[in-house]
Amino acid sequence: MTYRELDDLTNQFSSLLVKLGVKKGDRVALLLPNTPQFLICYFGAMRAGAIVVPCSPLYKERELEFQLSDSQAETVVALDSLCPLVASVQERTRIRNVIITSLVDLSRNTCEYSIEPEDEKTVRSLYAIQFEDFLKEHAERPSGIEIDPKCDPALFQYTGGTTGVPKAAILTHYNLVVNALQFGAWLPPLGEGRETVLAALPLFHIFGMTAAMNMPILKAETIVLVPRFETSEVLKVIQKHAVTFFPGVPTMYVALINDPHIDDFNLRTVRLCISGGAPLPIEVISKFEALISGMLVEGYGLTEASPVTHCNPVDRPEKVRLGSIGIPLPDTETRIVDIETGEHDLSANENGELVVSGPQVMAAYWNQPEETKHTLRHGWLYTGDVARMDNDGYFYIVDRKKDMINVSGMKVWPREVEEVLYGHPAVKEAVVIGIADAYRGEAVKAYIVLTEKFKEKTGPEEIIHFCKDKMASFKAPVQVEFVNDLPKTSVGKVLRRVLNKEERL
């Protein structure tokens, strides 16, 4: 699809929404994987003055109902296979317009497709509009819709934030455009109009939205959409389309490294990878960089900042600091403040809460004045992350404030232990949590996914001794549990809180 075609289809969808009665400020929910329809509906809704509400196609009924109700969405665009899910919550929400699309809509390929009888009934019961047919009837971009970029919301992006309770960060058109500009300016190795970007990060997540959609569109790049991350398919896509830029999360790089067929593929076209969303183990960097022609570096961001605020410099490899999230993006200010009050600036190399300020920071949380007041203070966004800055101005995430483990009064940060665990050859993935301990108050427990090669050869005691050899004994796990997989978000971020909850049961 060309940019001209995308622009035309976006205008058509925008016109469709206006004909349906969608007005400026109305919410349009998108229940879509990474498909062309996501881009068309995302930009089309914003052109109509609507506020986009991205929803994960992996949501269960309770999760979708909450997000649709909380956002007050009246229109939803959904993949046809998700019709039963939409139907199950429609009566308990404000949804009145349901636009249904298929994976084969807009496709140039010949493929077979049919709706199962039950799904067909669901579509009819929803009074749903068929996406592709309706687009043909609306060609003109709607006129008379004035948007104030700095004030008008463009996006309700849901996040658990510091409390774990879902809430919508209100991001304006200005927030989104600025962050695309900031991130794009930070990547001089990527030439405008010459790169091929792998969009394997879900676009309904703010990192994928900015790094794999908004920024590449700003720089006129080719975007290869991957609806679902499967290592075998991703390896084929990288080789087939000669991908040059691959933004991702650590679990993606870990999965590719451990694919048994990795040696059958040529990934040397990849010149740059930016990892975010979770701490990037140093061991993963060295292994993945051996497969590509360029570098894999760590950055940092959060939903409330559209999301990118920090990244390692990528114009010269010698500027990259392993284990660091880098330095602030242009027009972004950063401080480290005391954890207790958040009012006192700390010196270099002291651990404290990371706070940021910049034009990419959200306007507020939707309908959450107390949460907004707690998170936005005196022009600064309080991230809830514990970090430190070295003498050269590079920042390092220590961990989340709430994830700190208190062992006999001494602080243990999970990331430090996980870095050591990833250095063991048997460890494919690892996460640690704090568990109750009658003597110490808390102790460290590790959940580990083993590589296939070492599954039958590695025991908990070996892992514990390995850690004790490389760190103070109180930081080493006292328990190790081997699991087949770790609970993750739709973007691949490990859900530590799920493990904490299971441990307390």
The Cα–Cα gap between 140 and 21 comes to 16
Separation of first and last alpha carbons in the chain: 51
If phi > 0 it is left, if psi is from -120 to 50 it is alpha, else beta; for residue 357 that is beta
The Cα–Cα gap between 1 and 286 comes to 36
What pLDDT sits at residue 62? 86
The Cα–Cα gap between 415 and 476 comes to 12
Question: How, if at all, do strands 352-357 and 333-337 pair?
Answer: antiparallel
The Cα–Cα gap between 305 and 44 comes to 23
What pLDDT sits at residue 25? 98
Q: Of 224 and 497, which is predicted with more confidence?
A: 224
3-state secondary structure of 404: coil
Tell me whether the CATH fold assigned to 3-147 matches the one assigned to 404-504: no
What pLDDT sits at residue 372? 96
pLDDT band at 131 (very low <50, low <70, confident <90, very high): confident
pLDDT band at 124 (very low <50, low <70, confident <90, very high): very low
The Cα–Cα gap between 211 and 182 comes to 11
Residues 459-472 have pLDDT tens digits of: 999 999 999 999 88
The Cα–Cα gap between 98 and 84 comes to 12
How far from the centroid of its chain's Cα atoms is residue 15's Cα?
30
The Cα–Cα gap between 333 and 456 comes to 49
Q: Of 130 and 27, which is predicted with more confidence?
A: 27
Residues 412-453 have pLDDT tens digits of: 888 889 999 999 999 999 999 999 988 788 999 999 999 999
Res 109 pLDDT > 50: no
What pLDDT sits at residue 112? 31
What pLDDT sits at residue 164? 53
Tokens for 96, please give them: 């009145």
Task: Provide the residue ranges of all domains of the chain, joining segments of one domain with +.
Answer: 3-147, 170-400, 404-504
Residues 257-298 have pLDDT tens digits of: 999 999 999 999 999 999 998 888 899 999 999 999 999 999
Residue burial 52-84, b: 16+ Cβ < 10 Å; e: rest: bbbbbbebeeebbbebbebbebbbbbbbbebbe
What pLDDT sits at residue 239? 98
**What CATH architecture is 404-504?**
2-Layer Sandwich (3.30)
The Cα–Cα gap between 228 and 52 comes to 22
| CATH class of segment(s) 170-400 | alpha beta
What pLDDT sits at residue 138? 60
Tokens for 283, please give them: 């061991």
Our CA angle for 270, 231, 189, nearest 5°, is 15
Question: How, if at all, do strands 222-225 and 196-199 pair?
Answer: parallel
Question: How, if at all, do strands 222-225 and 272-275 pair?
Answer: unpaired
Find out whether 93 and 61 touch, Cβ atoms under 8 Å. no
What pLDDT sits at residue 143? 78
Tokens for 260, please give them: 């048994």
The Cα–Cα gap between 159 and 304 comes to 8
The Cα–Cα gap between 407 and 444 comes to 8
Res 145 pLDDT > 50: yes
Tokens for 197, please give them: 């970007």
What pLDDT sits at residue 159? 87
As a whole number, mean pLDDT of residues 175-191 equals 96
The Cα–Cα gap between 180 and 145 comes to 23
CATH of domain 3-147: 3.40.50.980
pTM: 0.85
As a whole number, mean pLDDT of residues 405-410 equals 80
What pLDDT sits at residue 128? 61
